Amino acid sequence: MLKNTFDDGFNLELVETAYFDGILAIPKIEPPEEIFIPTAMIPFSKRNRSKYFSECIVFY
């Protein structure tokens, strides 16, 4: 595990399952294995009226 050259108050050596990149040790987020593409969208204001649970809620 890489130790920062400056004290930022975050102890990277205590995090076992995270990956960090670069000299600033920026957390690296892996891309998902599968991308979910919604087939239907519903406005947030009408979410309680829907009888389907597979719809994506849209905030606009």
In-domain check, residue 7: no
Whether 26 maps to a domain, the answer reads: yes
What is the C-alpha to C-alpha distance for residues 36 and 28, in angstroms, rounded to an integer? 21
Average pLDDT of each block of 10 consecutive residues along the chain (60 residues)? Answer: 61 73 84 87 87 84
pTM over cut 0.85: no
Q: Whole-angstrom Cα distance, residue 60 to residue 45?
A: 10
Distance (Å, whole) CA 39 – CA 57: 11
Domain ranges, residue 23: 12-58
Residue 20 lies in a domain: yes
Note the pLDDT of residue 34: 92
Does a structural domain hold residue 1?
A: no
In a domain, 30, yes or no: yes
**Quick one: pLDDT at residue 52?**
78
What total number of domains does the chain contain? 1
Residue 19 lies in a domain: yes
Is 46 within the bounds of a domain?
Answer: yes
Q: Which long-range contacts (CB under 8 A, 24 or more apart) does 1-5 make?
A: none
> Are the C-beta atoms of 2 and 25 separated by less than 8 Å?
yes
